[in-house]
Amino acid sequence: MNNWRGVSERGVTLIRELALDLSRAAFKQLLHTVHDRLIDYSQKPSEGEQGFEFLHARSQISARHNEISRRFLSTLDEAFDRFSARELGRNLGSLADGPKPSSLVGSEARKHIALMNDADVEEGLALSSIRKRSEVENAEQLWALGQRMALLASGKKIEDCQLPLAPGCYCEALQNALSITDIQLAAKLVIYKLFDRQFIPQLADLYRKANDQLIELGVLPNLNYQIEKAQGVDADRYTGAAPRAHTVASGVQQIPVLQEVAAHPLSLPSQDLPSREYQNQLMDSIQLLQQRLASAAPAYLVAPPGQSLKYTEQELVEAAVQLQQFDQVMAADILTAASQIKPLDIARARTNLLEQLKQITHAEEPPPLGGDDVRTIDLVGMLFEYILNDEQIPDCVKALLSYLHTPFLKLAFSEADFFRHQDHPARLLLNAMSDAGGQWVSNDGTCQYDVLEQIKMVVRQVLDTADVETRLFASLLMMFNGYVQKVEIRVKLLEKRAMERARGEDRFIAVKQQVNREIHNRIVNKEIPSALLLFFLQPWSDYMSHILLRYGSDAEHWQQAIGLVDDMLWGLELNGSAGERLRWRQHYPWMESMIEKCFDMIGYDSDKALKLKRSIDRIYQLRERNLKPEAAPMDLRDKLVQIAERRAGECTDLSRLSDKEKVVVEKLRLMEFGTWFEYTNGHREKVAWFNPDSLQFLFVDQSGKRSGMKTGNELAKAMVNGELRMIGTSAKPLVERTMESIFSDLNERAQSKLQAV
């Protein structure tokens, strides 16, 4: 026990010294490079006003070179201290002091991202991108290092991101080191770029040496890199093992036949189940339902139990390969089209496959298929047929995805557990392309950020590759996700700015409406002169809105603003008593000063202000002589009130809506942020934010830019008139929700068949 503890401590010490030595030399060289390159950036004509920021950053690096280096190395050293103390309950990338990392730690940072400014978000995303890319590039060495250092940590499991020399720790150390300077974002991003190009690649050598040193100490010397496999008899095929051997169909039925099953519908597996168990139960249910419906297939297509099959699995895959070549030729011209892409005819896939089998086996008739293969062909076909009916995906994207039918069929033949894995690269790629298409491609043919072209490129590469295997889809998934991540960063920043502006506008509208109600409640059913009415509904209304926004409704300034309205209305009702007139004359100078303050604060036109003030003075001069000023004509009063209501913003008045429109408004209140809408011309916009009380909706286009604000009334009328429709959304990925739809459809068909027996 004591001997192993000594090995553990020595191992951690060796790794610490190795990491700090390499980091010290590499970081010193990085700072020299940064110092030289910042001057180049400052002299670029395209940088404009940012040139000064680069020069300032260069002077900061030069003046605080040693301090920055010490901070960088001390941050790494602290991570090893916590590892040695076995503080593995928290992420080792989190600093004990200094600024909190923007997005390096992951979930914790994402919870606070709404509180960051744009600079913090961009900085965090830049570092997060560096971290993720390095983790992928060094996955094997990090995995092995994690296993060995877990053994040093008394066997406690350690995630890759918790290693004291993980890429995230280095990114965080750099961020912490630069926090002692006042370098601006533009210069920081340049430093991060140089860090990614010069420093990060050296981590591969560090990880290799660290593993070698631990092997020399006898820490898991025979460790082999492994990818977690699915449980079950067919799990080896998911990792590239040999495909299943095709045997004679057994006379023992794996799944009960129709007559052996109770005549009532199945239920979806519980959503509370772990992901893997849920997928297994869902597939079991689908296969059971397929078996219930199996008797509908012609006898010459499905081999009866005990009959030898006339083909091998290699022949089946070969038939799919030839079918893919036909798809490739057919898609060559179609994939170059801009938007009107004709989908693959999924219904003919099975017939074409049988024809290919007939040619390969030189049979006069298509050979019968085993029950498992029939279910596989039907399930892949249904998957893509349902994708073609998914309303969340634009038509051109669905058509592109349909050409992946045959490659997916090949995967399903060679990997019997393909449909049971949520994390299969092919499945993740299909989900990623459908999500990207739904966000950045419209049915009107428009596309943002060349996303449609990226999807075409992926589909074309799959069709052009003869040996379709998991490794190909994993490579394409990494490439496509990298592209989408860059787009998402840009779109999120644009949407964030649009939401901040919309919240401010909504707050201002709410304040204007509150002020309008306060004034309206005081002037309703009262005869008021035109000049006084104009003053209340325009300049004074603006002044009150400013006071309410700045100070709130409990402040003395707000009470004084409301009090002025009451006092001026009191002046219109002066009686003939000398005492009341004396109080009025003593109070009027204060009112005059408030009116002058109002004009100055809101920047009211000086000529209009002078004329309006003189008109107000004449009104009260008449009242002091006990004369009644002329009230505003009804048409002028109505006009001024309507103008004030428009300036305050339209409220959603349910009394003005039809019954259908009222139902739509109530649905809109329950809508989630991020819901997509489509116009009749196919153009799509997204609700990035809305206020369920005021029913003000912020719409952004597919590039993330603000396209406008709409009220609940406008949306309800447009939807009832058929000018706009809400696109049904689901939080579940495409393949999972499609498999659930397939289950529901098969369930209904099986019940209909049982009732007809």
* pLDDT, position 240: 34
* CA–CA gap between residue 123 and residue 651 (Å, rounded): 40
**Backbone φ/ψ region at 368: left (φ over 0), alpha (ψ -120 to 50), beta:** beta
b/e sequence 321-355, b meaning 16+ C-beta within 10 Å:
bbbbeebbeebeebbeeebebebbebeebbebbbe
* pLDDT, position 678: 87
Backbone φ and ψ for 690, nearest 5 degrees, come out as -155, 160
Low pLDDT (below 50) residues in the chain: 1, 47, 87-116, 227-263, 299-300, 303, 305-310, 338-339
Give the amino acid at 514. Answer: Q
Give the amino acid at 568. Answer: M
* pLDDT, position 260: 40
Asked if 43 and 55 count as a contact pair (C-beta separation under 8 A), the reply is no
**Cα separations in angstroms, 468 against 410, 475, 482, 697:** 7, 12, 21, 46
Domain ranges across the chain: 2-216, 275-468, 504-648, 654-726
Nearest 10 degrees: CA dihedral of 62, 67, 72, 75?
-160
Give the amino acid at 756. Answer: A
Q: What single string gives the DSSP state of each residue in 582-644? A: HHHHHHHHHHHHHHHHHHHHHT--HHHHHHHHHHHHHHHHHHHTT-PPPPPPHHHHHHHHHHH
Structure tokens at 452: 């449609």
**Backbone φ/ψ region at 188: left (φ over 0), alpha (ψ -120 to 50), beta:** alpha
- For the range 100-103, what are the long-range contacts, defined as Cβ-Cβ under 8 Å and sequence gap of 24 or more? 101/127, 101/171, 101/172, 101/175, 102/127, 102/128, 102/175, 103/127, 103/128
* pLDDT, position 450: 86
What residues does 725 pair with on adjacent strands? 678
Give the amino acid at 123. Answer: E
Structure tokens at 402: 């349909």
Sign, CA torsion 65/67/68/73: positive
Structure tokens at 71: 């901070």
The domain 654-726 is placed in CATH, from the list 2.30.30, 2.60.40, 1.20.1300, 1.10.3470, at: 2.30.30
Structure tokens at 747: 């369930």
Asked if 95 and 101 count as a contact pair (C-beta separation under 8 A), the reply is yes
* pLDDT, position 296: 53
* pLDDT, position 324: 64
Structure pTM?
A: 0.51
Structure tokens at 257: 């036949």
b/e sequence 669-696, b meaning 16+ C-beta within 10 Å:
eebeeebbbbeeeebbbbbbbbbeebbb
